[in-house]
Amino acid sequence: MDSHYDFDSAKHLLDSLQTERHQLNLKSSVSLVASVSDLQIRQYTAPRTHRVVRLLNPNEPDGFYEEVIFRLPGIIYERELPPIRRTSTGISHNAAPYLRQHIGITGLNLSYMTAVIENLHRLHTKFDRALTGEEFDAWSPDMSYREHESVTANCRYFMVGHTAVGRPAVQFQPGVDPDGVLNKMICDTIIHTEDNVVLYMKATKSEDTQKWRYTPLQPQHFSVGDIVEIQLTVMAVRKKHGGYRMMTVLKSVALLDDSISISASISRSKAIAKSTPRTPKPINLLKRLRYEDDSDEHEVREEQNIRHDLAQLRLADHNETNQAATSNPK
What percentage of the chain exceeds 70 in pLDDT? 85
Same domain, 50 and 162: yes
Same domain, 25 and 52: yes
Taking 50 as the threshold, does the pLDDT of residue 289 lie above it? Answer: no
pLDDT category, 330, cuts 50, 70, 90? very low
Same domain, 240 and 308: no
Examine residue 39 and state whether it is found in any structural domain, yes or no.
yes
Residue pLDDT, tens place only, 28-77: 999 999 999 999 999 998 778 999 999 988 888 888 999 999 999 999 99
Q: Is 238 exposed, middle or buried (0-12, 13-18, 19+ CB in 10 A)?
A: middle
Same domain, 270 and 293: no
d(CA 301, CA 315): 21
Please state the rounded mean pLDDT for residues 119-123: 98
Q: What is the mean pLDDT of the chain?
A: 88
Examine residue 38 and state whether it is found in any structural domain, yes or no.
yes
Establish whether the linkage from the previous residue to 61 is cis, with ω within 30° of 0: no
Examine residue 326 and state whether it is found in any structural domain, yes or no.
no
Please state the rounded mean pLDDT for residues 238-253: 94
How many other C-beta atoms can be found within 10 angstroms of the C-beta atom of residue 74?
27
Q: How far is CA 76 from CA 1, 84, 203, 243, in A?
A: 9, 20, 16, 31
Same domain, 117 and 80: yes
Please state the rounded mean pLDDT for residues 257-272: 95
Instruction: Note the pLDDT of residue 314.
Output: 60
d(CA 220, CA 229): 16
Judge contact between 197 and 80, C-beta under 8 A.
no
Examine residue 296 and state whether it is found in any structural domain, yes or no.
yes
Amino acid type, 84:
I
Please state the rounded mean pLDDT for residues 4-21: 96
d(CA 159, CA 169): 10
pLDDT category, 327, cuts 50, 70, 90? low
Could you tell me whether strands 199-205 and 48-55 are parallel, antiparallel, or unpaired per DSSP bridges?
A: unpaired
Same domain, 184 and 292: no
Same domain, 301 and 219: no
| CA 326 to chain centroid | 91
d(CA 1, CA 148): 14
Same domain, 154 and 298: no
Same domain, 312 and 207: no
Examine residue 54 and state whether it is found in any structural domain, yes or no.
yes
Examine residue 329 and state whether it is found in any structural domain, yes or no.
no
**Virtual CA dihedral for 48, 54, 58, 64, nearest 10 degrees?**
-50
Same domain, 229 and 312: no
Instruction: Note the pLDDT of residue 215.
Output: 96
Amino acid type, 270:
K
| CA 287 to chain centroid | 48
DSSP 29-56: -EETTS--TT-EEEEEETTEEEEEEEES
**Phi, psi for 198 (deg, rounded to 5):** -120, 130
d(CA 234, CA 51): 6
Count of the separate structural domains present in the chain: 2
Examine residue 241 and state whether it is found in any structural domain, yes or no.
yes
How many other C-beta atoms can be found within 10 angstroms of the C-beta atom of residue 10?
21
pLDDT category, 320, cuts 50, 70, 90? low
Instruction: Note the pLDDT of residue 208.
Output: 85
Domain range for 209 is: 7-274
Please state the pTM of the whole predicted model: 0.81
d(CA 232, CA 221): 20
Please state the rounded mean pLDDT for residues 209-226: 94
Please state the rounded mean pLDDT for residues 284-300: 53
Task: Fill in the DSSP letter of residue 249.
Answer: E
Same domain, 106 and 184: yes
Q: Is 133 exposed, middle or buried (0-12, 13-18, 19+ CB in 10 A)?
A: exposed
Examine residue 74 and state whether it is found in any structural domain, yes or no.
yes
Residue pLDDT, tens place only, 169-213: 999 999 999 999 999 999 999 999 999 999 999 999 988 888 999
pLDDT category, 323, cuts 50, 70, 90? low
What percentage of the chain exceeds 90 in pLDDT? 67
Same domain, 191 and 267: yes
